[in-house]
Chains A and B, each alone.
Chain A
Amino acid sequence: MTTHPHHHLQLTTVDGEDSVRIELHGDLDYDNADLLVQEATDRLAARPALTDLHLLCADLGAVDSMGLCALLMIARRTAEAGVRLHLDDRPARLERLLTLTGTLGHLTAPPPPRSSATSAAEESAGAARPTGPDVTT
């Protein structure tokens, strides 16, 4: 059996004035999707006044279903926080995956007004974040 070198996910986070940019290198898959969710959640919690979260996808390798699951979770968190999510420099494979699954529009839509978060989102916000969106506005 051929052994493939594992393409570990590496994250580089750059803080801007109103935005945070996380650069993704490597595969976003079953083994490391949690890493990205954790990083994004931490940043959102640490920067209550954030307006934009950019995920730089230029060096992103393979994205499997758990990777997409992570992106959906981050989109949910940013929507709750009233932060706009950007998936920048998407490679063709990611573009295809997002188109196929009908998630492209959802993942990159502007955040809803902060009061209209869904009830599901409110529950998870309360459970997962030390500071809720109401506190920060």
Chain B
Amino acid sequence: MLIADARGLVVRCNDAAVPVLPAAAPGAPLADVVPGWLRDAHAGLCSPGPHTAPDSGRAPAGEIGGRFYEAHPTVRDDGSVAWWLVDDTDHRLVREALRMEQERGAFLAKASNVLLSSLNLARCMDATAQMAAESLADAALVIAPVRGQRLPVVTCLRGGEPETSTVTADPDAVPGLGEALRGFPPVPSRWIDPSAAPAWMVPEGIGPVGSIVITPLPGHGVPAGALILLRRAEAAAFTEEEEVFARLFAARAGAGMSAARLYAEQSSISDLLMRELLPPALHQISGVDFAGGYRPSADHERIGGDFYDVHPATVEGEPSLVLLGDVCGKGLEAAVLTGRIRNTLHALLPLADDHQRMLSLLNTSMLSSHHTRFATMVLASAVRRGSTVDLKLTSGGHPSPLIVRADGTVEEAETHGTLIGAIPTVTAATVSTSLAPGESCVLYTDGITEAKGGPMGDDLFGEERLKRALAGCAGMPAEGIVEHVQMLAAQWLNDRPHDDMAVVVISAPRTHHLSAVNGHTRGRYTA
């Protein structure tokens, strides 16, 4: 307890208060012996006029000699004030610790949320750098693990945007960085001397750096990179607690980044493998229009058991070979079989003018003692002669191609044959026809005609409905017909499950003002 009079002079200081305020001898000016907050509180209480303290609100409080005190005043009759000092330090520390814990908990939850939501490595690195710079340090660098010396680095200053760069540097030249990026040997966070840090590690605009810590980002059994935290010279260095906290954050960031990296690796592998299995984009070849469309049965797949290809002739003036088919089964397994068939047919291209021989050789190559997996397919050879397109069509157990005449008549090509790959000998009949300008030949798989749905929900789309729709497509460009057929099938299905669906249209262009076709682009036309 400390008593001071209205003039601001110490009157008395009891034994308990002496160790706290050793200079508070009687007669000493309060301003010289107590901290500013207590002096101001006393002055406020002793000043004339209406008082706000002490009964309104909390008692004044503040630091004295490294501990926290609340000061409860009692105004005595002589106008002096007795200040009862209550040590509040422990209470405060607990409250402060709780608040910090809550903030950190919320921060870590947010970090998990942000990092787990994206499987994009660049975005995960950005988010990691930005969050670290907001809450852990004045600046943060995130480095992805690499082999070699070109390090992908994301840098973020507090309050700034993350920036991506590539740094050419030897990670082993920085203590702890090489280990962190390799994920081996396991090392804890590592302090480095700011003056020894390489220039690329210190972002522009941060000013003098006081402390730098390198923390490995632990991934799912693989190294996920390193997090580098920097604090300015005037900022407090990292406490032990903060370091633990930074490690907790690093664990989350590492998990997010390594998941994104594994995902990127997997998807680049499957992309690479899938590229061979995807149906090609079709365009005009040697004066014949080709268009194709494909929808696999499962929405998350991009490939399935239907396939098509168009092989341009090696010699100008010879027909291009179109193939469209359907292997039994679905998904990846079926897609792999389509890949084998497409490769085999590619190798058989020198025989392209003899469809039956091609199918027969393909059949032999596909026969297996272990299964009866088969394919049905249509081969079509198409070549421009004058303004018309000559066609040769052969079906190997596949729905017959439909020909859309200029007047809207829809003809079924009279070709029939055996499915391929399950029976030792196959037969097939080839038919020839030609397309006048504006006429088209439509090849399709049974996913279209077997689409189950319609307004009543359980009718098959069927061949008749397809023919009726095609009757309205006379003179349409090839892509237009493909799109139209796909749209009708999709509307018929109305989100119901379906089989793979493929359509290829071969058209004789309506106008024949072909000027320059260089084989790669459509060229320019003069009307």
Using a CB–CB cutoff of 8 Å, the interface residues on chain A facing chain B are 1-2, 4, 30, 64-66, 68-70, 72-73, 76, 100-103, 106, 118, 120-121, 123-124, 127
Contacts and interface: CB of A to CB of B under 8 A. Distances in A.
Contacts, number: 76
A2 B416 CA distance: 36
A124 B369 contact: yes
B371 interface: yes
Contact of A101 (B369, B419, B427): B419
A124 B368 CA distance: 9
A127 B370 contact: yes
B397 A100 contact: yes
A2 B418 contact: no
B356 to A, nearest CB: 13
Contact of A120 (B367, B399, B428, B495): B367
Interface in B315-372: 326-330, 367-372
Interface of B: 305, 326-330, 367-374, 376, 397-399, 416-419, 422-424, 426-428, 452, 457-458, 495-497, 499
B417 to A, nearest CB: 6
Interface centre among A30, A69, A123, A124 (most CB of B within 10 A): A69
Q: Is the interface of B mostly helix, strand, loop or mixed?
A: loop
18 contacts: A4-B452, A4-B458, A30-B329, A66-B329, A68-B419, A69-B329, A70-B372, A72-B372, A76-B372, A100-B397, A102-B418, A102-B419, A103-B422, A120-B369, A120-B424, A121-B369, A124-B369, A127-B369
Contacts of B426: 102
Contact of B374 (A2, A4, A72, A127): A72
Nearest to A65: B328
A67 to B, nearest CB: 9
B397 A103 contact: yes
A101 B369 CA distance: 20
A102 B397 contact: yes
Contacts of B305: 65
A101 B418 contact: yes
Interface centre among B330, B397, B399 (most CB of A within 10 A): B397
Contacts of A66: 328-329
A87 to B, nearest CB: 15
Contacts of A106: 418, 423
A118 B422 CA distance: 13
B370 A124 contact: yes
Contact of B416 (A64, A102, A127): A102
B374 A69 contact: yes
Nearest to A70: B372
B496 A101 contact: no
Nearest to B400: A100
Contact of B419 (A64, A76, A103, A121): A103
Nearest to A124: B369
Interface centre among A68, A101, A118, A123 (most CB of B within 10 A): A101
B423 A72 contact: yes
Contacts of A120: 367-369, 424
Contacts of B327: 65
A99 B370 CA distance: 25
A64 B499 contact: yes
Given A66-B329, A100-B397, A102-B416, A118 B370 contact: no
Given A4-B497, A65-B327, A102-B418, 8 more contacts: A1-B497, A30-B330, A65-B305, A65-B326, A72-B372, A101-B397, A103-B418, A103-B423
